[in-house]
Amino acid sequence: MKEFVVAFAGNPNVGKTALINALAGTKLKVGNWPGVTVEKKEAELSYKGKKIKLIDLPGVYSLSPYTIEEKITREFLLKEKPDLVVNVIDSTNLERNLYLTVQLMEMEIPMVIALNMWDEFLDLGYKLDLEKFEKLLGVKAIPTVATKGRGIRDLLDIIDKGLKEKPKVKAPKYSASIEDFISKVMELLPSDITYPKRWTAIKLLEEDTEVLKEFPSLEPKLKGILREFEDIFGASGEDVIPEERYGFISGIVKQTLRKSLREKKTLTDILDSIFLNRVLGIPIFLFILYLVFKFTFDGSGPFIDWTDGFINDFLAKWIGAAISSTPEWFQSLIVDGIIGGVGTVLTFVPLMIFLYFFLAILEESGYMARAAFVMDRAMRSIGLHGKSFVPMIIGFGCNVPAIYATRTLENERDRKLTALLIPFMSCGARLPIYVLFTSIFFKKYQAEIVLSMYILGILVAIAVGLILKKTAFKGTPPPFVMELPPYRFPTFKLLWTSIWARTGAFLKKAGTVIVAAMILLWAFINIPYGEKPEKTILGRTATVISPIFKPCGFSDWRPVAALIPGTIAKEAVVGALGTLYGVGGEEGGGEEKTGFFEDLKEQIKGFFDACVDSFKGMFGSLKTGVFEIEEEEETPLQKAIKSSFTPLSAFSYMVFCLLWIPCVVTLGAIYQEFGKRMLLASIGLTTITPYIVSTIVYQVGKLLGF
C-alpha cells in the first residue's frame, strides 16, 4: 500500500508537534534529521484505508537557507516532495505566520492550513472571515486547538481530501514591476528544472545563495538583471521581495481579520487610515484622479499640438515638396495615408508619457492599491474588481492608455472584461462631434446633452458588463488579495522604465498595426482617386448599407459614410461630414512660401514654447479650452446638417458615435494586448451595441413625440 507523506510546516511554537500528537495519538517516533542534531519527529496513522506518515518539520519563519532548520525544511519540501503540507499557523499572530505561508505558496505545493491556537484567538476577541480567508489564499483552512483536540476531526478530513485532490496552490502575484522581473528570470530558466519555476525565479532575484549555486550558467545574464533590479528599486531583491510578501499579507489581513484591540500605529497605518477611510477614501481618490487628469491633459496638450504641427506642417510639407513630381494619388497616399497615419500614432506619445508618469507615481508609491481597495465594492457589483476602476476612468481621457492600464489587473478575465468596456467611456476625441451637433440642435441645453453622453456611456458599460458577466464571462470573479504594499518613494529610474516600457511597446507593436490600418482606410476613402465622395469605395459602400440604419434615424449615406473615417480618430467624423456634404473648407489655401530652415527653426522654437505652455498648463492658469464651446456664426456645415437631421436623429447619431468602434489606435492596442479574438470581440461588441442603443433611443424618442 502506498504510504502518503504529510509534512507539518510552521513557525516555532505554533503547535505542530501538539497537532501531530492529537492526530496520531501516542505513536510518535523521535529521531534526528540526517547529519544534524536537529530533532525529527514523525508518526504514522491510518485513516479511511490510507496509510499516512506525518512529518514534523523544524519550526521556521522563512525559507531562506540561513539556519539549519530552514535548510532542512526547504530541502525536504523541494526534494522529498511530500504529498501534502499542513501549514500550522498561530492564529493570534496571523501577520507574522503568514509570511511562511506565502513562501510555501510560492512553491506551489499542495497545502492546507491549520489555524491553531484558536482558543486564544477567540479569547482575544478577534474575528476572522474564514470563508474569504480561504478564498483569497486559495487554500483550505481549519481552526484548531491542538491541546484540547478541537478541530482535529475536521483537519483530518481536509488532509484526507487534500491527499485525494492534491489542491493546486497558486503562487501570490506581486506588483506589476516585480512580476516583470520574475517573468524575465523565468524565461532564462531551462525548461527541465526540478524545482518550481516561479519559486526558483523569485529565489534568484532574492540572490539566494543555494539556488544561485545550482544555475552557474545563468550567472552572466542574471547579473545584468539583478543590476537592473537594484537600479530600478534602489534596493536588492532580498529587501524588496519580502516587502512584497508583507504587502500581500497585509492585504489579506485587512480584508479578513478584525481585531478588537487598538494596536500600535505605524506610518503606514496612519496613511491607510486616511486613504482607506470609509467616508474620505472615495473623495480623496476622485480628487487625486482629477489632479492626474489635469496634469496629464494640460501638460501634454501643448506637446500634442506641437507633434501634430511638426508632422503636418513640417514633415508632410517638405516630404510633399520632395515628391511633388510624382502622381497626385501617390502624393496623397504618402502624405495623407502614411505620414498622416504615423502622425496620428505619434501624437499619442506625449499624452502617454504624461499619463504613465503620473500613473506610475500612483502605482509605485503604493497608493493605487489603496484606491482599488476603496473602489472594490462598487465595482464588484458589475462583476469587476476595484482595480478596474482606474483604466475605466482613464478611458474618459483617452481609450488607448486605458487599454494598457488594464495590465495592472491580476487576472485575464478582469483584464479582458475591462478592455471590452473601456470603448464605451466617452474619450476626449468624441467631444467635437457632440459640440457640432449640440451647437445646431440643442443650443440651450448644450452642456447637459454633452454630459448625458458621458453618463450614457457609463450606463451602457454597466449594462453590457452585467450581460457579459452572465454570458461570456460566467462565474464569479476569482477573489484576489488586494495587496497593500508599503508606501515608498518611487525612484525616478523606476518611473522612467515604467513609462518607457509602455510607450515603447505602443510604438513598436501597436504602431505598425495602426499605420497599416490607416493606409487601408486611406485606400477605402480615396479609391478611385480624384472621384466625387459618392463614387469612392467608401461612398458606394455607405450608399448600399445606409438603409440598415433606418431604425436608428439616419439613413442618409453621408453620416453613415462619415462613421468610417471616424475610426481613424473620432474627431475625424466632423471633418468627414464637411467633405461629404461638400462644404469642407479647403484649408490652408494661401500657402506661405517659407524655406526649409526657416520652418525647422520655427519647429524648434515651437518645441520650447510647448515646454513653457505645458508648465503653465499644469501649474498656471493656461486653459486648453477643450470644454469651451465657442459661439460662432452658423457655418455651411451646420446648415447642411440642420437640413438632413432632426434633433432626435441627431441625438441618436451622437449616441451611435459614442458607442461605435473606438478608433484604430484603440483597436491596435487591444490587438497588441489581447490578440485577434479579443479584437474581433471588441469590434463586434462596438458594432452591435451602438446599433441597438441608437435604435432604442430613436424609436422610444419617436413614441414620446420628439
Q: What does 12 interact with, of Mg ion, ligand GDP, none (CB < 5 to 8 A by kind)?
A: ligand GDP
Q: What does 15 interact with, of Mg ion, ligand GDP, none (CB < 5 to 8 A by kind)?
A: ligand GDP
Residue 87 in the binding site for Mg ion (CB under 5 A): no
Kindly list the residues in this chain that would bind ligand GDP in the complex (CB under 6 A): 10, 12-18, 59, 116-117, 119-120, 145-147
With H, G, I as helix, E, B as strand and everything else as coil, classify residue 388.
helix
Q: What does 415 interact with, of ligand GDP, Mg ion, none (CB < 5 to 8 A by kind)?
A: none
Q: What does 18 interact with, of ligand GDP, Mg ion, none (CB < 5 to 8 A by kind)?
A: ligand GDP
Give the residue at shortest CB distance from ligand GDP.
15
With H, G, I as helix, E, B as strand and everything else as coil, classify residue 288.
helix
The DSSP bridge pattern shows strands 84-90 and 3-10 to be parallel
Report the residue number, 10 or 281, with the smaller CB distance to ligand GDP: 10
Report the residue number, 14 or 664, with the smaller CB distance to ligand GDP: 14
CB of 151 to ligand GDP, least distance (A): 9
CB of 179 to ligand GDP, least distance (A): 33
Q: How many residues does the chain have?
A: 706
CB of 147 to ligand GDP, least distance (A): 4
CA 345/CA 336 separation, integer angstroms: 13
Judged by CB under 5 A, the stretch of 13-21, 145-153, 217-225, 657-665 that binds Mg ion is 13-21
SS3 letters across 143-178: ECEHHHCECHHHHHHHHHHHHHHCCCCCCCCCCHHH
Dihedral sign, CA of 62, 64, 67, 72? positive
CA 531/CA 131 separation, integer angstroms: 68
Report the residue number, 16 or 416, with the smaller CB distance to Mg ion: 16
Q: Which three cell numbers stand for residue 620?
A: 498656471
Give the residue at shortest CB distance from Mg ion.
17
* Of residues 585-644, those binding Mg ion (CB under 5 A): none
Q: What does 145 interact with, of ligand GDP, Mg ion, none (CB < 5 to 8 A by kind)?
A: ligand GDP
Report the residue number, 17 or 296, with the smaller CB distance to Mg ion: 17
DSSP character at residue 475: S
Dihedral sign, CA of 16, 18, 23, 24? positive
CB of 261 to ligand GDP, least distance (A): 18
Judged by CB under 5 A, the stretch of 9-17, 45-53, 119-127, 635-643 that binds Mg ion is 9-17
List phi, psi (to 5°) of 44.
-120, 155
Q: In which element (H, E) is residue 94 found?
A: helix 94-107
Closest alpha carbon to 177 in 418, 416, 398, 500: 500
CA 142/CA 89 separation, integer angstroms: 10
Report the residue number, 74 or 558, with the smaller CB distance to ligand GDP: 74
Number of residues that bind Mg ion (CB under 5 A): 1
Q: What does 401 interact with, of Mg ion, ligand GDP, none (CB < 5 to 8 A by kind)?
A: none
Report the residue number, 14 or 560, with the smaller CB distance to Mg ion: 14
Please pick, from the candidates 17, 526, 649, 666, the single residue that binds Mg ion as defined by CB under 5 A: 17
Dihedral sign, CA of 77, 79, 80, 82? positive
Report the residue number, 116 or 408, with the smaller CB distance to Mg ion: 116
CB of 83 to ligand GDP, least distance (A): 21
Q: What does 116 interact with, of ligand GDP, Mg ion, none (CB < 5 to 8 A by kind)?
A: ligand GDP
CB of 90 to ligand GDP, least distance (A): 8
Report the residue number, 12 or 547, with the smaller CB distance to ligand GDP: 12
Instruction: List Cβ<8 Å contacts ≥24 apart for 385-390.
Output: 385/409, 385/410, 385/414, 385/477, 385/480, 386/482, 387/414, 387/482, 388/414, 388/417, 388/418, 390/359
Report the residue number, 118 or 557, with the smaller CB distance to ligand GDP: 118
What value, to the nearest 5°, has the Cα angle with vertex 117 and ends 31 and 157?
Answer: 75
CA 616/CA 612 separation, integer angstroms: 6
Closest alpha carbon to 203 in 100, 98, 70, 103: 103
Q: What does 14 interact with, of ligand GDP, Mg ion, none (CB < 5 to 8 A by kind)?
A: ligand GDP
Q: What does 120 interact with, of Mg ion, ligand GDP, none (CB < 5 to 8 A by kind)?
A: ligand GDP
Residue 119: how many other CB atoms lie within 10 Å:
17
The DSSP bridge pattern shows strands 140-143 and 111-116 to be parallel
CB of 58 to ligand GDP, least distance (A): 9
Q: Which residues bind Mg ion (CB under 5 A)?
A: 17
